[in-house]
Amino acid sequence: MAVTIGFTEQQSSEQLLTLWGRLDARNRELGYARYDFGDVQSHPVVRRLAAGKAGRLLLKPLQALELASPKLWRRVLGIPKQVVPSLFYHLGMTYTVRGRLSAPPDNIAQSVEEVCRRALELRLDAEHVCWRHPYMHHAGTWRGGLDPGVPPSCGHHTARVGLMLLYAGETLGQPDLTHAGISAARALLAYHRWNTCSDGSCTVSYYPDTRDEVINTGADAAVLLAAVPGAERTPAMQTSLEGLTRMIVSEQLPDGSWYYCTRRHYENLGGARIIDNHHTAMNLGALTRLVGSGALPPSLAEAARKALDLGVEFYLENLFRPDGRGRHMIGRRRPCGVVGYSEGVSALSAYLDGAGGRSRAAAAKAGKMAPRLLANAIDRFVDRKTGDVACYRFFGRPYHIQSARWGSAPLMQAITDYVACRETTRS
């Protein structure tokens, strides 16, 4: 079913790719190591204050200082710039897609390979390829003590960067990159905790020492397992792939939404049951890839397709206004950040360009809204003078820290995914 999509601001693909080039040039100028939206929470002083009620009250005025001058605040705290591994996923994927679009830069293949090599330089010293999350505060309440014999792999980074390596290896014709992506899939099976339910569904932990059941982490892992070439996909990988897909389908609520974690997670570990923008988009993007992968048995692929259609309708009707303005999560007034818009554009572009059937109603809404999301992302977060991309807008002001992982790189990926989708659906 062909779906025609336009662009709210009437910008051509050429104009969008020109902007992409500006963002890319700025990224190269600033380098990989940057400030990141999550780095302040891992500072020792902030972590100590956040641990107690009185400290959390004191954090309020400090957070006001951060919002007023976020880069200066990081310099005051002595927070170093660093590389967050999933940056390589966004850059590798956008460079790979850019190479397939019209008039690609002469050095695009070298750019893909450079990202892959840099990613592998930062992998953990372990038998299987995996990456660490740099922030100590993350998942702190879920941790239970890491076995010294198990590397501190992060499921999100390992799954996403592993997927990028598989795509890059195929694109460049470099088997060593493909094998590194397969090794990342083995790392998830070997190092992380897996829970299997009686219905055949399963979950994978965010870290080796956590007992969480985060849905989008499972979705990332499923996509990586589905991307492993059939001859290399072991029975254990196939079983885990199908179990994770069943989990995504079964955890979808009747209205088409997903909590951040499974219902069993909240029963066992507590916590607020949230439905947020960018993690919902990640689930939709993952389901689109899974439905089109050819790696699922027909009945499970059909169940995933139905969940995908329902999820797209919920996402667009409940997390965005008709003009494409988004909110961060259900029940909160906080506006959506650039990652929410970017993950949304990438997910909707994949959905419109995906293999297999789609609901006409959901596809029509996606085709109408995708360009509006992209227009809002560009208009609200891009500084056209510098090429910097803000993370959020707070109190009407952009939160600028020159982040790549939580700023320019996801937006670059959204632009190339959108242009690729538009070119495909118009051909």
pLDDT in tens, 375-422: 999 999 999 999 999 999 998 999 999 999 999 999 999 999 999 998
If pLDDT is split at 50, 70 and 90, which confidence band does 145 have? confident
The residue type at 131? W
Are the CB atoms for 178 and 120 separated by under 8 Å? no
When the pLDDT of each residue in the chain is averaged and rounded to a whole number, the result is 93
pLDDT at 62: 84
The DSSP letter of residue 109 is H
Residue 399, H or E segment: strand 397-399
Phi, psi of 382, deg, nearest 5: -90, 130
pLDDT at 3: 39
Percent of the chain with pLDDT over 70: 95
Q: Which two tokens stand for residue 253?
A: 């609520």
Q: What is the pLDDT of residues 333-380, one digit of tens each?
A: 899 999 999 999 999 999 998 755 678 889 999 999 999 999 999 999
Average pLDDT, stretch 307-322? 97
Pick from 6-15, 142-151, 177-186, 333-342: least confident: 6-15
Residue 324 above 50 pLDDT? yes
Task: Compare 8 and 249 and report the one with higher pLDDT.
Answer: 249
Pick from 50-59, 117-126, 275-284, 351-360: least confident: 351-360
Domain ranges for the chain: 82-365
If pLDDT is split at 50, 70 and 90, which confidence band does 427 have? low
Q: What is the pLDDT of residues 83-121, one digit of tens each?
A: 999 999 999 999 999 999 989 999 999 999 999 999 999
pLDDT at 6: 41
pLDDT at 353: 87
- How far is residue 77's CA from residue 285's CA, in Å, rounded to a whole number? 37
CATH of domain 82-365: 1.50.10.10
Residue 7 above 50 pLDDT? no
Residue 4 above 70 pLDDT? no
Closest-CA residue to 106 (of 117, 95, 116, 115): 95
Partners of 134 in beta bridges? none
Q: What is the pLDDT of residues 217-248, one digit of tens each?
A: 999 999 999 999 999 999 999 999 999 999 99
Task: Compare 141 and 156 and report the one with higher pLDDT.
Answer: 156
pLDDT at 355: 55
pLDDT at 345: 98
Pick from 144-158, 203-217, 272-286: least confident: 144-158
If pLDDT is split at 50, 70 and 90, which confidence band does 61 have? confident
Contacts of 82 (CB under 8 A, 6+ apart): 33, 34, 36, 39, 134
Closest-CA residue to 330 (of 391, 272, 264, 406): 272
Q: Which two tokens stand for residue 33?
A: 């190591």
Are the CB atoms for 314 and 369 separated by under 8 Å? no
pLDDT at 49: 85
Pick from 9-13, 175-179, 185-189, 318-322: least confident: 9-13
The DSSP letter of residue 232 is G
- How far is residue 372's CA from residue 320's CA, in Å, rounded to a whole number? 10
Q: Classify 227 in phi/psi space as left (phi over 0), alpha (psi -120 to 50) or beta.
A: alpha
CB neighbours (10 Å) of residue 123? Answer: 22
Total residue count of the chain as it appears in this document: 427
pLDDT at 1: 36
Partners of 392 in beta bridges? 399
